[in-house]
Structure formats: structure tokens, C-alpha cells
Amino acid sequence: MYAMQVTAFDTPLSLCELETPKPAAGEVVIQVAACGLNFGDTLLIKGTYQEKPPLPFTMGMEMAGTISAVGQGVRHLHVGQRVAAYSGKNGLAEYAAVSASVCVPIPDAMPFTDAAAFLITYGTSHLALEDRAGLKPGERLLVLGASGGVGLTAVELGKLMGAEVIACARGAAKLEICKQMGADHLIDSDTADIRDTVKALGGADVLYDPIGGDQFKAAFRACNPGARLLPLGFASGEVPQIPANILLVKNMTVLGLYIGGYAKLNPKALTDSFETLINWYVAGKIKPHVSNVLPLRDANAGLDLLRRREATGKVVIDVMA
């Protein structure tokens, strides 16, 4: 089979020919149809992500396809079943061996491209907004990086959960996509003063932040007493230092979330969330926004779209193209 591998850190992926994997106990092998790219992939390639697999390794945190083999002890999945999986790696390959515990059956009505664009972004936002922050109807949700992969799902899910959503993104074109996904208010991070604009709207009750840096500092100052802060990533390259005295005075709560941790700490919470989200998809309540679909050999070009922040929503690799 063919796979796109990291053979040296901070270099482009290499197209390699490998043996097709066999499932160990508790695993399945997926014939991969599509793989979703994520900003975390770009950090994995640099060797700066939360996890650092030994070289060489196959990229691709999330995938969708059909089960081609089942390992010993797996009872709830079968050969020929359509699934999506969040495995952390191995998705940019024609076949991938993954733990059965991170596989979720997907309906026939869900294209593989949508399924591969689904788990990390929607899963992160659903766990963050519902399980961690306890977002309530009528609260004001501020989403930084709102046109990106996770940001756009936070806009969509926040609106579905009854919040008043403020979307912050770069430029009119990206903000228009946020509006289409349900944002009530739009802030251009290139030109507007985030702090003053949010305060004029009444302040934020929940801050969803995959960006960090100066945007977080401005948004933090616009949060209401009792606000919940969700630092989910640092695409700006700067990890913000949160002043504890302001947390104290304003009774604010900081809630970290790393979805990869759920895969190890509480995989059932992860798969339960995925099942809820897939049911919402089938009901027509949510729909992934995929801006680019590329073949496996062009995975490096897809990653460049993320690095340059030229994509909106998700970039998906069609492995079978």
C-alpha cells in the first residue's frame, strides 16, 4: 500500500510503499477512503505537537473508510462496515490499523469526505462547549479563529445550542462563511478592536480560543464575570499567560481540552459525543464545511493551505482518488 509518512521532522511528507497492516487484538484495519487534515498535523510534522511519535510514522489524525479486517476480541464491528476513526495518526494511507475503541459506525447517507472532516473538529467543539463549559441558551459565545476547522464548528454548534455567537476571523470572505454557519455578530480580527467590540455587545460568557496570542489577550479582557475560558490551541504561535488575579476578581474559570487525551482517558465519552454529532448530521442540523479535497499525493499541498490559513473549514484528502 501507499502512505504519506514523516521520515524527518520539519520536512515535507514522503510517499512511501509499505506492507498492508494486520490487526492486533482489539484493532481493526480500515481501507481508508478519506482523511481529514488538521492544524495539529502541521505541528506533528515539526515535532512540536503534544505527542511526538518515533520516526518514521504515517500522518493523518482522522479518517473514514470501510473495515477490511477485524482483530481478536472485537465484537461490535465487522468486515465491510463503514466507520470513521480518530486514531491520532495513520490516516494518510490506503489501509490503517486502529484501535476498535475509537471507531464510530457512520450511516450510508454520510459521504466519506464528510465523515473524514467530522470527528476532530465537531468532537472538540461539542466536548468543549457542552461537557467542559456547559454553554447555556442565551449566553454569549465568542469564537476566535472562527473560520478555521474547529472554529467554524464552534460557531455552528454554539448557535444550535442556543447561544448568541460572536465570530472573529480574518477578512470579509471568511466572515461571510461564519455568518452562513449561524454567527450573530462578526469581527474582523485584522481591522477591529476585539476587546472594545465585544464589550459593546455585552461581553462574552464563554471564550472559545484556538488562536492564543494577542487575540486571546484582547478577548480575555472582554469576558464577563463568571466567564468560562476554553484555550484549545495556539495557532498564533504564542501561548498566553493568563493573569490569575483577574480570574480571581471576576470569578472566571479556565477549562483545558485536548481531544487526544479523551481517546486515552475516556474513549467512551469521545465515541458517545461522536454518536450524538452523527445523529445531528443525519437530522440535517449540522453539515461539515469542506473547502478543499485533494488526492493522497497532494497531501503536502493540503497542509500548506492550513499553514497559510487559506482554507476555511476542513481540508480533506481523498485517498482513493
Q: What is the mean pLDDT of the chain?
A: 94
Residue 304 CB neighbour total at 10 angstroms: 15
Residue 210 confidence class, pLDDT cut points 50, 70, 90: very high
Query: Using the 8-state DSSP alphabet, how is residue 100 labeled?
Result: G
Note the pLDDT of residue 267: 74
Fold of 121-259: Quinone Oxidoreductase; Chain A, domain 1 (3.90.180)
Top CATH class, 2-118+288-318: alpha beta
The answer on pLDDT for 303 being more than 80 is yes
pLDDT in tens, 77-104: 999 999 999 888 999 999 999 999 889 9
CA distance 267 to 119: 13
Residue 272 confidence class, pLDDT cut points 50, 70, 90: confident
Note the pLDDT of residue 49: 85
Residue 261 confidence class, pLDDT cut points 50, 70, 90: confident
Note the pLDDT of residue 235: 84
Note the pLDDT of residue 102: 86
Three cell numbers, residue 228: 468560562
Note the pLDDT of residue 85: 93
In this prediction, residues 12-32 reach a mean pLDDT of 97
Residue 321 confidence class, pLDDT cut points 50, 70, 90: confident
Helical segments of 57-187, H only: 112-116, 119-126, 149-160, 172-180
Of 270, 213, 233, the residue nearest 150 (C-alpha):
233
Give the range among 18-27, 160-169, 306-315 with minimum mean pLDDT.
Answer: 306-315
The answer on pLDDT for 68 being more than 90 is yes
In this prediction, residues 157-177 reach a mean pLDDT of 96
In the chain, list all ranges with CATH 3.90.180.10: 2-118+288-318, 121-259
Regarding beta strands 14-17 and 62-70, do their DSSP bridges make them parallel or antiparallel, or are they unpaired?
unpaired
CA distance 180 to 130: 22
